[in-house]
Amino acid sequence: MKLATVLLDGKELLAAVRPEDSTAAVMPGSVDDIVRGGCVDFDFAERLPLSAVELTAPLRRFNRDILCTGWNYWDHFDESKGKREGQDPAERPKHPTFFTKGPGTVIGPYDDIAHDPAISTKWDYEAEVALVIGKDGRSIPEEHAWEHVFGFCVANDVSQRDLQRRHGGQWLKGKSIDGTMPLGPWITTLDEIDDPYDLTIRCDVNRVTLQQASTRQVAFRFERIIAELSWGMTLRAGDVILTGTPSGIGNAREPQVFLQPGDEVVTAVSGLGELRNRVLNTVSLSTPW
C-alpha cells in the first residue's frame, strides 16, 4: 500500500494512492497514526483522482529529529576526498556514520525548497531512500531489523556545505535549515518492495541527471544501519531514517554545482515515486553577529 497525507478543501486526510491509475482512496485519519499501529479500512473510502487533492509530506508528527546516515555509498565517500575542507577521515569508516537534522526541514513532495543566500552560498542536493520505523525496538539484531520497518519513501537531504564545515566539524547546523527537505510523495509499505537492494535512486536538476545509483551499492546494508543505530537507543514507531546519498553531489563536482533560485529538482526512487521541487528565494534575515 502507498499511504499519503493529502489536502482536500483545506483539510488534511489519509489517502491510499494507486499511481497506476492516478487515484487515491481518501478518508479521515492520518499516516502518523497508521505508522504507530493504527488500523484502517479503505473499502468504503471515497476514491478521487490524484489531481483533485494536494499531496503533502506523508508524516506530520515527528518523535524527534530525522535520523540520518552519512557516507553510505563508497563512491560518494571517495568523490569528496580532499574537498571536505580539512574534515576528511583518515580512512573509510568501519561503522555507519550518523547525524540528525531538525524536523522543521521537512516539506511536501511538490513544495518549494527554501533558499537564502544570506544563510549559505552552497546549497547542495542529496537524493536518498528513507526508512520509516513502524515498531519500537532497542538493540535490534540485524536478522530482526525488517520487523521494525513500516515502509519506505523518498527524501532529498538538501545541505548547506559552508554551514556543515563551519560549526566544529559536526553537521547538524548545515543539515537543519527550515523548509529544505522534501519527503514523500507517500510511504510505500514494506510488503510492496520485492528487494530493497534493487532500487534505483536518481536526482535531476533542471532536467540534467546528476545522481543515479542502485541501493545494492550501499556501504552498510539497511539492516546494519537499524542494528547499530538502535544499539542501546530505542527506535520509535514514526522515526524516519535517511540511508545515505550516492555520488554526484554538487560540492564534489568540478566545477561545483549548487542549487540556485528557480532550479527544478526531481528526486526519484524506482517503486517509491518522485519528488518535484522548485528552489525558491526566501526573505533574507540579518546576520545576528
Residue 80 has pLDDT above 60, yes or no: yes
Element (H, E) at 164: helix 161-166
Residue 289 has pLDDT above 80, yes or no: no
Same domain? 51 vs 187: no
Q: Are 50 and 24 in contact (CB under 8 A)?
A: yes
Q: How does residue 160 score in pLDDT terms, banded at 50, 70 and 90?
A: very high
When pLDDT is cut at 50, 70 and 90, the band that residue 86 belongs to is low
Who contacts 155 (Cβ-Cβ below 8 Å, separation ≥6)? 127, 128, 129, 130, 181, 182, 183, 240, 242, 267, 275
In a domain, 94, yes or no: yes
Residues 141 and 98 in one domain: yes
Last residue within a domain, chosen from 34, 56, 78: 56
Residue where one domain finishes, among candidates 10, 38, 56 = 56
Residue linked to cell 538502535: 230
Residues 191 and 22: their CA atoms lie apart, in Å, by 21
The pLDDT value given to residue 145: 98
Of 17, 36, 56, the one marking the end of a domain is 56
pLDDT digits (tens, 9 = 90+) for 267-276: 999 999 999 9
Check if the beta carbon of residue 256 is closer than 8 Å to that of residue 223. no
Do 110 and 20 fall into the same domain?
no
Which residues have C-beta within 8 Å of that of residue 129, sequence separation ≥ 6? 152, 154, 155, 199, 201, 215, 242, 243, 269, 272
Question: Does residue 272 lie in a domain region?
Answer: yes
Going by DSSP bridges, is the β-strand pair 106-107/181-189 parallel, antiparallel, or unpaired? Answer: parallel
Is 168 part of any domain?
yes
Q: What is the mean pLDDT of the chain?
A: 95
Residue 9 φ/ψ region, left for φ over 0, alpha for ψ in the -120 to 50 degree band, beta for the rest: left
Pair (23, 147) in one structural domain: no
CA dihedral for 73, 77, 78, 80, sign (positive or negative): positive
- Nearest-5° angle of CA 100, CA 101, CA 105? 160
Around Cβ 86, how many Cβ atoms within 10 Å?
7
Same domain, 47 and 90: no
Q: Which of 10, 272, 262 is nearest to 123 (CA)?
A: 262
- Residues 132, 24 share a domain: no
| pLDDT tens readout for residues 215-249 | 999 999 999 999 999 999 999 999 999 999 999 99
**Model confidence pLDDT, tens digit, residues 125-139:** 999 999 999 999 999
Residue 88 lies in a domain: yes
Residue range 94-110: mean pLDDT, rounded:
97
| Same domain, yes or no: 90 and 145 | yes
pLDDT at 165: 87
- Statement: residue 88 has pLDDT above 90: no
Same domain, 124 and 51: no
Four-residue CA torsion sign, 102, 106, 112, 113: positive
Residue 288 lies in a domain: no
Residues 148, 216: one domain?
yes
Give the pLDDT of residue 51. 96
Decide if pLDDT at 89 tops 90: no
Assess if residue 14 is contained within a domain.
yes
81 domain-assigned: yes
User: Grid cell 583518515 — which residue?
Assistant: 90
pLDDT tens, residue by residue, 5-62: 999 999 999 999 999 999 999 999 999 999 999 998 998 899 999 999 999 999 999 9
- What are φ and ψ of residue 213, in 5° steps? -160, 170
> What is the largest distance, in Å, between two alpha-carbon atoms of the chain?
59
Helix (H, G, I), strand (E, B) or coil at 244: coil
For residues 201 and 263, state if they share a domain. Answer: yes
Three cell numbers written together for 14: 489519509
Asked if 34 and 108 sit in the same domain, the reply is: no
**CATH number of the domain enclosing 101:** 3.90.850.10
Q: How confident is the model at residue 287 (pLDDT cuts 50, 70, 90)?
A: low
Residues 252 and 187 in one domain: yes
Q: For position 194, what pLDDT does the model report?
A: 96
Query: Residue 61: inside a domain, yes or no?
Result: no
Tell me the DSSP string of 8-51: ETTEEEEEEEETTTTEEEEES--HHHHHTT-----TTSEEEEGG
Number of domains, the chain: 2
pTM of the model: 0.96
- The residue range of the domain holding 265 is 66-281
**Lowest mean pLDDT across 75-89, 156-170, 235-249:** 75-89
Rounded mean pLDDT, 53-75? 97
